[in-house]
Amino acid sequence: MQVKPAENNGPGAPAQSPGPAQSPGPAQSPGPAQSPGPIASAGVPPETSQGAAFHQAAPLIEAKGLGVARGGRWLVRGVDLAIRPGEIVTLIGPNGSGKSTTVKALLGILAASEGAVVRRPGVNIGYVPQKLTVDWTLPLTVRRLMTLTGRHAAAEVEAALGEVGIAHLAGAPVQQLSGGEFQRALLARALIRRPALLVLDEPVQGVDFAGEIALYELIRDIRQRLGCGILMISHDLHIVMGQTDTVVCLNGHVCCSGTPQAVTESAEYRALFGSQAASALAIYRHHHDHVHRDDGSVVPGEECNHHDHEHDHA
Amino acid sequence: MLDDFFWRALIGGIGVALVAGPLGCFIVWRRMAYFGDTMAHSALLGIALALLLDIDITLGVFAITAAVAFALLLLQRQRALPTDALLGILSHSTLALGLVLVAFMAWVRIDLLSYLFGDLLAVSRFDIALIYGGGIAVLVILVVIWRPLLASTVSEELAAAEALRPERARLVFMLLMAGVIAIAMKIVGILLITSLLVIPAATARRFASGPEQMAVLAAGLGACSVALGLFGSLEFDTPSGPSVVVAALALFLASLLRAMFQRDPLQGASPNKGRGMT
């Protein structure tokens, strides 16, 4: 839970203000328990605070100075990130910022051009790719899709489909599923492997708003139940900020990373997302305020200012 | 029974079809029909080189088709030319090279037509042993790499992320293709091998609800095509290879008719409306 100021080693990095005056300082204390004020600690959403223990655990997978170049151009460079058991890490960033490239390099789908990916030996990975179209010529039912990369008993398959709420579609050809159903089928397929690390590349693509929220809730449930680490790419800042432990903001390099709260307060993040960032912050703050009222220590109206003020001097 | 040339051709042909069916399914799924065609066409170059170097023809064909497949994979990686242009270049230039090379070798007399279109009379006992020995080896290896190969057919990235090593599966698949071309050459001829791979698989698609079922059906339909084609060839005195392909086509057309008169079996299996079936 610390904010790493970005090193400006990315290709064509946007205007950055690495100065400590604008961005939260690197000296910020790492855990909510040691945070200086009640505000910072209350800023951790209740559903993520239980996962604080993951900071002691060894990472499932870790990128160290990871860079990927293709065709003489750096797609992404200087990425340091780690996913620990029980932690939800979300990559955000504009189109072409290297989110998918980073994930693929972590998974070994793309070879790293520099730096290293360290994977804990024997880590079982479940992957939900961004795009998957199954050719019509391949007869594939949802049930058969479940055992695509590993052997699983029929009862396990039914259970996994039930978990994501599509048990009734077991016999349907995958080509006939709707966007949301197919996404759930892919999630079930990854889950049946009982992964230690679940990787989701834009899991709510082609899913309507209601389905989107349901899917994110499902993903959070999965973390609770399996205790797996989750690495996710998302475009939906509102939901990301509410349901993630660590946010990594990419734009050809790591702009900033840390808790959702810390990232939304960083200047790099605001420069990158502009007005969208502000609205995500507002909604996040709303959540934040609510927690505060329970404390009874801060008046919601003043709280935001006070908060910013404190960080500016941190 | 094996003394009769016809029965030897029939037994050999069925053996080839049983192997070609499952392999052909992957060719259809992975959209590799022209890739297979290119490999098959290069077989003539393999024959010419085998004659030139005085080595076994089957071995020569296997080596050259495998080499052409690897060359294609390497060229594809460079992305200088689109795949279909590469296939067009390699397919016809290897065929032409083979023809020119054969013409240069005035000291050997080969029946070119029998290599291009297959020859019933040419199937020996040794060929049958080769077809069944090689065929069983191909099928056993296919079963071993089935899961990684199928997973990478659905998504190369998924297979790679979940440690199934899709590159290795694809490499092995190329070698299996080269093997099948080498053993199928005598029955259908190098110009028509791809049809024995693709047509039974396409016919099987209409009836299959799973990949494994489709592979088994394709093997069975291929065997039927060989039997029908060879009996027709005997009856009407037509070349064996084309007759087998015509029989396979007849079965395919029959499956189309069935689909037309029946509601498409793929419709209605799911409560949902189709999601972009192309």
Distance CA(A138)–CA(A9), nearest Å, equals 45
Residue B68 in contact with residue B42, Cβ under 8 Å?
yes
Two tokens at B58? 């089957």
Give domain B5-261's CATH architecture. Answer: Orthogonal Bundle (1.10)
Q: How many CB atoms lie within 10 A of CB B243?
A: 26
CB contact under 8 A, B159 and A138: no
Tell me, what DSSP letter sits at residue A199? Answer: E
Q: Which of A1-15, A30-44, A131-145 has the lowest mean pLDDT?
A: A30-44
Please list, in sequence order, all residues whose beta carbon lies within 8 angstroms of the beta carbon of residue B104, skipping any fewer than 6 positions away.
none
Q: Residue B115's pLDDT is what?
A: 86
The residue range of the domain holding A160 is: 139-189
Kindly report the nearest CA distance between residue A202 and chain B, in angstroms: 15
pLDDT in tens, B4-14: 888 898 999 99
Q: Residue A170's pLDDT is what?
A: 92
Residue A30 in contact with residue A38, Cβ under 8 Å?
no
Is residue A72 a part of any domain in this protein? no
Quote the distance between the C-alpha of residue B15 and its chain's center: 13
* Interface contact A230, partner B, CB < 8 A: no
pLDDT in tens, A100-147: 899 999 998 888 899 989 988 888 899 998 878 898 999 999 999 999
Domain count, chain A: 1
Give the CA distances from residue B119 to residues B111, B127, B238, in Å, rounded to whole numbers and listed in that order. Answer: 10, 12, 11
* Interface contact B259, partner A, CB < 8 A: no
Rg (chain A; Cα; Å): 20
Q: Residue B262 pLDDT > 80, yes or no?
A: no
Kindly indicate the confidence band of residue B39, based on its pLDDT and cuts at 50, 70 and 90.
Answer: very high
3-state secondary structure of A109: coil
Give the count of alpha carbons within 13 A of A8, CB side only. 9
Give me the percent of chain A exceeding a pLDDT of 90. Answer: 25
pLDDT in tens, B51-60: 999 999 899 9
Kindly report the nearest CA distance between residue A140 and chain B, in angstroms: 5
* Interface contact A109, partner B, CB < 8 A: yes
Kindly report the nearest CA distance between residue A35 and chain B, in angstroms: 38
Residue B274, φ and ψ in degrees, nearest 5: -55, 140
The residues spanned by each domain of chain B are 5-261
Q: Residue B60's pLDDT is what?
A: 93
pLDDT in tens, A266-306: 777 777 777 666 566 554 444 444 343 344 444 444 433 33
Q: Which residues of A touch B79 (CB under 8 A)?
A: none
Give the CA distances from residue A164 to residues A29, A115, A211, B113, B275, in Å, rounded to whole numbers and listed in that order. Answer: 38, 37, 12, 59, 20
Two tokens at A213? 């929220």
Residue A314 in contact with residue A24, Cβ under 8 Å?
yes
* Interface contact B271, partner A, CB < 8 A: yes
Residue A266 in contact with residue A277, Cβ under 8 Å?
no
Distance CA(A124)–CA(B151), nearest Å, equals 17
